[in-house]
Amino acid sequence: MTLPLYLAKAELFKTLAHPTRIRVLELLAEREYAVGELLHKTDVRAARLWRQLVVLRRAGLVVSRKEGSARYYSLTSPRIAELLLVARHVVTDARTGQVGQRQPADRDRTNSKLESDASPALDSVGTSKRSERVESDAN
């Protein structure tokens, strides 16, 4: 099944809409972690952490590997760390009243970049299907 890009983005943001998942991704942006280390750093119960890791793995945001009796998790892409950094800037700007402080030229470059992205459709795991045209994100 192919999803338009704007729907795939909505699914991504739904996946990110949990504080424990955000915390786990922020930690994994630093380096690979064993589950035991994540338990200690996140201060949540094991069952809750496992559920959140399953959600992140199914969304394709993290991967795991087993070494001995330990399971290690890492991000699937450095772009996830970039997304978290941008979100941090957006939240910080909103808290400090800096929203809308970018120069018009910056906005024009951003809008041009967004328009030049040929919004390809994505399959259910986020793989690009460039051969198919999709509706723009504006819809």
pLDDT exceeds 60 at position 125? no
pLDDT digits (tens, 9 = 90+) for 58-96: 999 999 999 999 999 999 999 999 999 999 999 999 998
The secondary structure of residue 36, as a DSSP letter, is: H
- Residue showing tokens 């941090």: 88
Strand boundaries in 23-135, DSSP class E:
33-34, 62-67, 70-75, 121-123, 128-129
**H and E: helices and strands count for the chain:** 6, 6
d(CA 133, CA 7): 14
Please name each of the domains of the chain with its CATH number.
2-78 (1.10.10.10)
d(CA 132, CA 5): 11
DSSP characters over 66-83: EETTEEEEEES-HHHHHH
Q: What is the pLDDT of residue 78?
A: 97
More confident residue, 101 or 74: 74
Confidence of residue 100 (pLDDT cuts 50, 70, 90): low
Q: Compute the average pLDDT of residues 31-35.
A: 98
More confident residue, 103 or 135: 103
